[in-house]
Chain A
C-alpha cells in the first residue's frame, strides 16, 4: 500500500509528533516497505479465528479497596520539568 506524506502527517498528528519536512519522504518510504512486508499475513486464512490479546485467561483481576501509601507530592513533583510546588505547570490549556 502507498504511504503518502499526507498519511505520515496524519499519523504524526495522532501521535503528537511533528517530523521536519526533510524527514517525511524517507519515513514514508520506510513505513511503506514495512507495511508492504506485513501483507504476508494475508497468506494465512484467519476468517474463523478469534483475535487473541492475552495469552493467559486472566481477567477481572481485583484487589481489596484499601488505601496504600504511594510517593508523596514533593517526590512526584521533583522530577517535573516545571512545577510550583503544588502542581505541574503547563501553558494555559483552556481559554
Chain B
C-alpha cells in the first residue's frame, strides 16, 4: 500500500509504531506535492524545509504532514489570502489553530490556494492562478478552500485546515470526494484567521474520513481568550467518543433542499445515503423547511456587509502591497485597494458598503439580520424533532473552469444548501456519497444542532463504516510520487 492511501490516523499510528519514519512521511508528501502542483496548483507556498514534530507522542496525528489554507496566519511564512494586496505578508504570529497543531506535532507542508479573501465558490479568483480539480483538471475544485480539498484528494497531505464562511470547507470537500467539517461557531478560535465575515467564519478540517476530522477537531477546538466569540464549551474526546452507531437517531430531510435546481444524480446519491443510514437503524423522514428560500440573499447581505468593514484594514500602510504613483494619503488608499483587490472582492466590498449605507441600511442589512433570526428559529424548531438533518452539499457536481465566474448571481445561488448552517452557527459536515455519470464526486451534508458536532461526526463515521465512497481516489493518480 502506498503511504498516501493511508488515513491521517493510520499514518500517525504507523509513525508512532516506527513502521514509517516521520522523515519518510514528509518526503512522500513533498514528492506528491512536487508531482501534483503543476497540474492542480493547490499550493500558494510550498514549505522549503517542513519542521518535523518535536515529540511523536504529542497526539495521534504527530508527524503527519498537513497544510493550511492561505488565510490562516503562520509566523514567518507568507500568508497571502490569494490576493495581490497581501503579496509578501509574513505574519509575526501564529493563528491559535496553527499554534495548537504545532504543539500537537503537526507538520506543515505549506499554504493552500483559495479564492481571494475566501470570496468565491470555485477557487478561481486567486491572484496566484486557479486551482484545478484532481478528479478532472478541466473542472473547478470548489471553493473557497479549493486548494485544501484538492491537496487532500490528490494525496499531497493527509489533512488540511480550511475556513468556512458559507460552505467554503464543505462544498470543495464534496467536489473533490473528501470529508470536510465546519464545526459549531465559536468552538474553534478565529484568532489569526484573516477575517471575511466574522459572525460566520469558522475554521475546520478537510480530511479523508469523519474519524480523521474528529482527530483534528480534538486538537483545535476549545476556548481561546484571544477570540472574544470563542465558546467556553467542553472540547476534545470526539475521536474516542465515535461509536459508528446511528440506531434510533432521528434524521430529517428538508424537502426544500431536494426540489427545483437540484441535479437528479446528486439527488439520487444523497437519498441513497439516507437509505444507508436508515438501514443502519436511523429514523429518516422528510419535513418542510420553507425558510430555505431566503437563505442566500440573507447570507450575501450579511457576509458582504461584514467583509466591507473587515477589508478596510488593507490600506497599503501597515503591511502587504502598496501601489505606486500617489499624490496624497487618500489616493494611496484608493490606488492600493483598487489595484490590489481582484474583481470579486471589489464587487463584495461595494455590495457590502451599499447595504450598510445611509438610506439602504434598514431595507437590506437590518432586514437580513431579521431574516437570520427567522432562519435560526426554523433550525431550532427542526432540532426539536430531529437529531440531525441530511441535505445535498451543492446542487451539482464540480463545474467546468470558467463556467461560474461569468455569472456572479448564479454562483451565489449554488451556495444554497450550505450558507444556512453558517447563519445559524451550526456544525455541518460534507461526506462523499457517490460519483455522477462523469465520474465526479457527490457530497452529502449532515447538519447538527449547536454543539452537536459529535452527533454529526458519529453519523458520518457510521456511514463510512458501511460505504467506501470516502476511499475512492481520482483516476490517473501517478504512484511515482510516493517514497515507499
Seen from chain A, the residues whose Cβ lies within 8 Å of a Cβ on chain B are: 7-8, 10-12, 14-19, 27, 30-31, 33-35, 37-38, 40-44, 46, 49-56, 58, 61, 63, 70-71, 75-76, 78-82, 88, 90-93
Q: How far is the CA of A90 from the CA of B91 in the complex (A)?
A: 21
A71 near B93: Cβ-Cβ < 8 Å: yes
Residue B284, interface by CB 8 Å: no
Given A71-B93, A75-B92, A91-B332, are A15 and B317 also a contact pair (CB < 8 Å)? no
Q: Which residues of B contact A42 (CB under 8 A)?
A: 367
B92 touches A17 (CB 8 A): no
Interface flag for B455 (CB, 8 Å): no
Shortest CB-to-CB span from B215 to chain A, Å, is: 26
Q: How far is the CB of B297 from chain A (nearest CB, A)?
A: 4
Which 9 residue pairs spanning A and B have beta carbons closest together? A51-B369, A55-B425, A81-B322, A52-B373, A46-B370, A79-B319, A71-B92, A75-B92, A61-B228
**Residues of chain B lying within 8 A (CB to CB) of residue A7:** 354
Asked whether, in the complex, the Cβ of B300 is within 8 Å of the Cβ of A34, the reply is: yes
Residue B372 interfacial (CB < 8 Å): yes
Nearest opposing residue in chain A for B88, CB measure: A79
Name B residues whose Cβ lies closer than 8 Å to a Cβ of A: 88-93, 185-186, 199, 225, 228-229, 231, 291, 293-294, 297-298, 300-301, 308, 312, 315-322, 326-330, 332-335, 337-338, 341, 346-347, 349-351, 353-354, 357, 364, 366-374, 376, 408-409, 412, 423-425, 450
Q: A71 contacts which chain B residues (CB < 8 A)?
A: 92-93
Contact between chains at A90 and B329 (CB < 8 Å):
yes
By the criterion CB–CB under 8 Å, are B347 and A31 in contact? Answer: yes
Residues in A with CB closer than 8 Å to B199 are: 53-55
The answer to whether A56 touches B231 (Cβ under 8 A) is yes
Q: Which residues of B contact A37 (CB under 8 A)?
A: 297, 409
Known A16-B337, A41-B298; further 11 A-B contacts with Cβ < 8 A = A11-B350, A27-B347, A27-B350, A30-B409, A49-B373, A51-B373, A52-B373, A55-B424, A58-B186, A71-B93, A75-B92
Which of B297, B328, B357, B424 contacts A91 (CB under 8 A)? B328
For residue B370, which residues in chain A have a CB less than 8 angstroms away from its CB? 46, 49-52
Q: CB within 8 A of A82: which of B322, B353, B373, B374? A: B322
The CA of A28 and the CA of B25, in the complex, are separated in Å by 51
Q: State in angstroms the CA–CA spacing of A11 and B320 once bound together.
A: 24
Closest CB in chain A relative to B426 CB, distance in Å: 9
Residue of A nearest to B327 (CB): A91
Question: Which of A18, A50, A90 makes the CB contact (< 8 A) with B317?
Answer: A90
Contacts of A31 in B (CB 8 A): 347, 350-351, 354
Interface pair A30/B315, CB less than 8 Å apart? no
Contacts of B291 in A (CB 8 A): 44
Q: In the complex, A91→B316 CA distance in Å?
A: 12
Cβ-defined partner of A15 (8 Å) among B349, B366, B367, B374? B349
A51 to B319, CA, bound (A): 35
Residues from chain A with Cβ under 8 Å of B371 in the complex: 41, 44, 46
Q: How far is the CB of A48 from chain B (nearest CB, A)?
A: 9
Given contacts A17-B337, A18-B338, A46-B370, contact A79 B318 (CB under 8 A): yes
In the complex, what residues of A have CB within 8 A of residue B351's CB? 31, 34-35
**Which chain A positions have C-beta within 8 A of B316?**
81
B185 and A55 within 8 A (CB): yes
B293 touches A43 (CB 8 A): yes
A35-B367 contact given A49-B374, A55-B450, A79-B319, CB 8 Å threshold:
no
Point out the residues of chain A lying under 8 angstroms from B327, CB to CB: 91
Which of chain B's residues has its CB closest to A82's CB? B322
Contact indicator B186/A56 (Cβ below 8 Å): yes
Are B374's CB and A56's CB within 8 A?
A: no
CB distance from A93 to the nearest CB of B (A): 5
- B347 CB → nearest A CB, Å: 6
Q: Which residue of A lies closest to B332 (CB)?
A: A91
**Interchain residue pairs with CB less than 8 A apart (17):** A17-B341, A17-B350, A19-B346, A27-B347, A34-B351, A34-B408, A40-B293, A41-B298, A41-B368, A43-B294, A44-B374, A52-B372, A55-B185, A55-B423, A81-B320, A90-B329, A93-B328
Q: How far is the CA of A67 from the CA of B258 in the complex (A)?
A: 54
Give, as a whole number of angstroms, the nearest-CB distance from B217 to chain A.
18
Find chain B residues with CB under 8 A from A79 CB: 88-92, 318-320
CB distance from B121 to the nearest CB of A (A): 14
Task: Tell which of A7, A15, A81 has the most Cβ of chain B within 10 Å.
Answer: A15
In the complex, what distance in Å separates the CA atom of A76 from the CA atom of B374? 43
B320: A residues at CB distance < 8 A? 79, 81
User: Is A56's CB under 8 angstroms from B373's CB?
Assistant: no
Contact residues in B for A18 (Cβ distance below 8 Å): 334-335, 338
Q: Which residues of A contact B354 (CB under 8 A)?
A: 7, 11, 31, 35
- B317 near A17 with CB under 8 A, answer no
Q: Which residues of A contact B329 (CB under 8 A)?
A: 90-93
* Chain A residues whose CB sits within 8 angstroms of the CB of B89 once the complex forms: 79
**Is the pair A40, B294 in contact by a Cβ cutoff of 8 Å?**
yes
Q: Are B231 and A58 in contact (CB under 8 A)?
A: yes
Min Cβ gap B299→A in Å is 10
User: Which B residues are CB-close (under 8 A) to A38?
Assistant: 297, 300-301, 364
Distance of A91 Cα from B331 Cα, bound (Å): 10
